[in-house]
C-alpha cells in the first residue's frame, strides 16, 4: 500500500558537488570555465549559464538566443555533460524555461538527484516535463532519468485533444522510508460521447535493481495514488513540485470529513411533563 504524502524537506547537494563561481579568483574554478568553454567551442550556444562539477564531470547549462534583439525569456536551453579529463561533451536535455528545483533522494544508498522541470517550447501551448539529473558513478558522467523519445516524464499539457476536457494533477511525494516518487494523473472527460478515462503513473527507482522505472497504475494502487496526489498540496505546492491539487477533480476525490454533531433538540414524544425521580405527581 502507498502511504500518505509527507512534507518534503529541502535536500543538500552531495558533498562532492559544487557550482562554479564564474567570478571567482580561484584557479580551480577558472580552469573549469576555460576547459568547458573550449570543449563546447564547436557547439551552438549563446551563453553558458551554469557549470556544476562532481569529480571529473561537469554539468553545464547553455542558452541559445534566436537573435541579438530577442528577450532572454525566449532563450532555448541545453543541458550538457562535459568531461574534465577529455574534451568529450554530450547533450542531455533540450527545451525551454528550465527550472532546477531541488536535490531529491530517489534511491537508498545513492546521493540525491537534481530535479528539473522544463517546457518543449516558448510562447506556445507548451508541454511540461520532469526529469532528475544525476551523476552516474558507474560511467563517471552525468545523465537524466525517465527519458523517452528525448523527453522526460510528461506532467502537464496545455494542448488537450479537441472536444475533450482534460484534468491533470502531479506531485513529488515522500515515501515513509524517505525516498521520493513522482505521481501523475490524467483524466480525460469525453462528455456524452463515451466514459471518461484515467491514466495514473508512478515514476521512481526500483529499490532492488537501482534502475529507474515508470509504472502505469491500476486498481487499488491507482485509487491510492489519486488520494495521495490530491492531498499533496500543502506538501509540495510552494516548491514547484506539484500542480492541479485545486482542481474540481481533486476536490471531489478528497472529500472533507463531517463530524457528527450532538443532538440538542428534544425527542418528538416530549410533552414537557417530565419530572425528576421521587417527585410527586
* Integer Cα distance of 131 and 182 in angstroms: 10
Written as nine digits, the cell of 232 is 499533496
* Integer Cα distance of 79 and 98 in angstroms: 9
The DSSP string of 8-40 is PPP-PPPTTEEE--TT---HHHHHHHHHHHHHT
Residue 70, number of CB atoms within 10 A of its CB: 13
- Model-wide pTM > 0.85: no
Please list the rounded mean pLDDT of every run of 10 residues in the chain (281 residues).
44 87 88 95 95 96 92 92 94 95 87 94 91 92 94 93 92 89 95 92 91 95 93 54 90 70 59 56 49
Residue 165, number of CB atoms within 10 A of its CB: 13
Written as nine digits, the cell of 17 is 558537488
* Spans of all domains in the chain: 15-149, 160-256
Amino acid at each position: 500500500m502507498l502511504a500518505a504524502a509527507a512534507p518534503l524537506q529541502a535536500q543538500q547537494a552531495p558533498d562532492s558537488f559544487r557550482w562554479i563561481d564564474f567570478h571567482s579568483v580561484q584557479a580551480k574554478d577558472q580552469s573549469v570555465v576555460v576547459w568547458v568553454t573550449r570543449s563546447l567551442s564547436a557547439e551552438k550556444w549563446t551563453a553558458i549559464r551554469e557549470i556544476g562539477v562532481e569529480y571529473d564531470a561537469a554539468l553545464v547549462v547553455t542558452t541559445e538566443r534566436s537573435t541579438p534583439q530577442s528577450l532572454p525569456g525566449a532563450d532555448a536551453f541545453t543541458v550538457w555533460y562535459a568531461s574534465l579529463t577529455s574534451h568529450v561533451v554530450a547533450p542531455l536535455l533540450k527545451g525551454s524555461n528550465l527550472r532546477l528545483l531541488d536535490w531529491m533522494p530517489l534511491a537508498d544508498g545513492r546521493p540525491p538527484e537534481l530535479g528539473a522541470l522544463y517546457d518543449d517550447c516558448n510562447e506556445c501551448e507548451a508541454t511540461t516535463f520532469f526529469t532528475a539529473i544525476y551523476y552516474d558513478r558507474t560511467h563517471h558522467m552525468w545523465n537524466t532519468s525517465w527519458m523517452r523519445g528525448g523527453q522526460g516524464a510528461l506532467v502537464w499539457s496545455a494542448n488537450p485533444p479537441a472536444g475533450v476536457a482534460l484534468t491533470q494533477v502531479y506531485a513529488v511525494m515522500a515515501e515513509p522510508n524517505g525516498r521520493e516518487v513522482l505521481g501523475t494523473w490524467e483524466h480525460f472527460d469525453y462528455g456524452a460521447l463515451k466514459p471518461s478515462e484515467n491514466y495514473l503513473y508512478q515514476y521512481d527507482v526500483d529499490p532492488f535493481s537501482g534502475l529507474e522505472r515508470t509504472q502505469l497504475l491500476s486498481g487499488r494502487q491507482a485509487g491510492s495514488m489519486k488520494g495521495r496526489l490530491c492531498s499533496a498540496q500543502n506538501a509540495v505546492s510552494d516548491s514547484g513540485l506539484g500542480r492541479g491539487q485545486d482542481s474540481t477533480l481533486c476536490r471531489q476525490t478528497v472529500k472533507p470529513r463531517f463530524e457528527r454533531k450532538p443532538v440538542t433538540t428534544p425527542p418528538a414524544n416530549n410533552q414537557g411533563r417530565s419530572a425528576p425521580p421521587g417527585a410527586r405527581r
